């Protein structure tokens, strides 16, 4: 038996439940659960998360540490590091290519197109001196072309107010998508 399968059995017995009852709670088949507990099959992450919540322990502890029945009496009190009830973008923009989320440290850089992704990856691989030179060159290029129409698209420059509203709506959509992705399970 693996550590996980032993822990699943310990938690189930600590909850005074049958295998059938746990299978119903986890919304999986009885035989599937029996195979998880016997160590014959690996459980998917969604099931493991639900099971860890049942035992009031962290997913890390469920997977790596052999639990004793006495360990279940005192639940894990520290919330998981990335768990948030709601994710709000509080800074950055799509034009800048970065987002700052409430409650999460650091910036998250966003690439909208494949070309931007390639460019960002190349930039990250440069040494710091080359990165600084590249940024200085880009600033010079932007200052030189300020006020002109875009040579890439051939469109005139959009007013700042319209640009802000477009970016705000894009950020809201992106934050909703990120929220759905991160809070599933």
Q: Where are the alpha helices (DSSP H) in 55-159?
A: 59-64, 114-125, 128-144
Q: Which three-class secondary structure string do you get for 137-150?
A: HHHHHHHHCCCCCC
Q: What is the CATH number of domain 3-72?
A: 1.10.260.40
Q: In the chain, which ranges are E strands?
A: 89-93, 98-101, 107-109
> Does residue 87 carry a pLDDT above 60?
no
Calpha distance 2→66 (Å, rounded) = 9
Average pLDDT, integer, range 129-152: 74
pLDDT tens digits along 51-75: 888 888 888 888 888 888 877 776 6
pLDDT bracket for residue 85 (50, 70, 90): low
Q: In what order do the strands lie in the sheet with 98-101?
A: 89-93, 98-101, 107-109
Residues 74 and 57: their CA atoms lie apart, in Å, by 9
3-state secondary structure of 154: coil
3-36 pLDDT tens trace: 889 999 998 888 888 898 888 888 899 999 999 9
Helix (H, G, I), strand (E, B) or coil at 6: helix
Most confident of 6-15, 72-81, 99-108, 168-177: 6-15
* pLDDT over 80 at 154, yes or no: no
Cβ-defined contacts of 123-130 (< 8 Å, 24+) = none
The ranges of the chain annotated as CATH 1.10.260.40 are: 3-72
């Amino acid at each position: 038996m693996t550590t996980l399968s032993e822990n699943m059995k310990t938690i189930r017995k600590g909850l005074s439940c049958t295998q059938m009852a746990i299978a119903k709670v986890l919304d999986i088949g009885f035989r599937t659960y029996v195979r998880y507990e016997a160590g014959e099959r690996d459980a998917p992450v969604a099931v493991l998360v639900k099971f860890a919540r049942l035992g009031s322990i962290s997913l890390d502890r469920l997977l790596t540490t052999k639990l004793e029945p006495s360990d279940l009496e005192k639940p894990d009190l520290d919330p998981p590091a990335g768990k948030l009830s709601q994710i709000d973008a509080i800074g950055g923009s799509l034009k800048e290519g970065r987002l700052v989320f409430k409650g999460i440290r650091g910036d998250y850089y966003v690439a909208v197109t494949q070309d931007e992704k390639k460019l960002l990856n190349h930039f990250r691989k440069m040494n710091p001196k080359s990165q600084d030179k590249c940024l200085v060159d880009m600033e010079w290029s932007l200052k030189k072309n300020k006020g002109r129409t875009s040579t890439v698209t051939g469109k005139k420059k959009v007013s700042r107010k319209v640009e802000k509203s477009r970016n705000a709506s894009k950020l809201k959509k992106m934050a909703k998508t990120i929220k759905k992705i991160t809070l599933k399970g």
